């Protein structure tokens, strides 16, 4: 129910993007990555076993993509990351609720089920979470502000 995935950084990554200067940017393309089945619940023990030399005391181990969204999109696996409790707990409310509602609509269910994609790496709110930043409250200001991190400074 858990697997390690080896990755290689994309050759097309734009190193001038401000996102790469973020302290949590190493989470984005770390290798290996731990992915677990959407129904798997033992995140912390699996993460500790996979990354035995990493100190995760004081951190939450959580899924990047909301499990309910993954299920609605017919995805079977989600990625785990170790992040601060503040970043983890600020991400669970509104943005995940909106994502479940959006992807549960008849139009999006049909679109998602017809897609060949079987996993989702991340949307911008997920990236903010992986950067170990709070995603914010009702207006998702930190997510909106994070758009500047993926715009070229040129």
Which pLDDT tens digit goes with each residue over 40-67?
Answer: 999 999 999 999 999 999 999 999 988 9
CB 35 within 8 A of CB 119: yes
> Which of 29, 31, 39 lies closest to 2, judged by CA?
39
Neighbours of 142 (CB within 10 A): 19
**Do residues 58 and 97 touch, judged by C-beta distance below 8 A?**
no
Angle between helix 106-114 and 94-104 (nearest 10)? 80
Q: What is the mean pLDDT of residues 9-34?
A: 88
The answer to whether residues 118 and 76 touch, using CB atoms and an 8 Å cutoff, is yes
The structure's pTM equals: 0.86
pLDDT value for 93: 67
């Amino acid at each position: 129910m858990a697997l390690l995935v080896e990755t290689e950084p994309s050759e097309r990554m734009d190193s001038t993007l401000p996102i790469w200067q973020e302290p949590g940017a190493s989470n984005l393309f770390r290798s290996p990555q731990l992915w677990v089945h959407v129904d798997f619940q033992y995140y912390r023990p699996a993460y500790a076993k996979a990354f035995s030399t990493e100190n995760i005391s004081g951190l939450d181990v959580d899924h990047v993509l909301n499990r309910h969204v993954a299920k609605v999109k017919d995805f079977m696996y989600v990625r785990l990351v170790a992040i601060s409790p503040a970043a983890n707990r600020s991400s669970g409310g509104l943005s995940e609720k909106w994502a479940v509602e959006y992807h549960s609509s008849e139009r999006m269910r049909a679109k998602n089920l017809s897609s060949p994609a079987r996993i989702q790496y991340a949307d911008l709110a997920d990236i903010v979470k992986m950067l170990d930043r709070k995603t914010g409250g009702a207006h998702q200001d930190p997510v909106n502000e994070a758009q500047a991190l993926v715009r070229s400074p040129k």
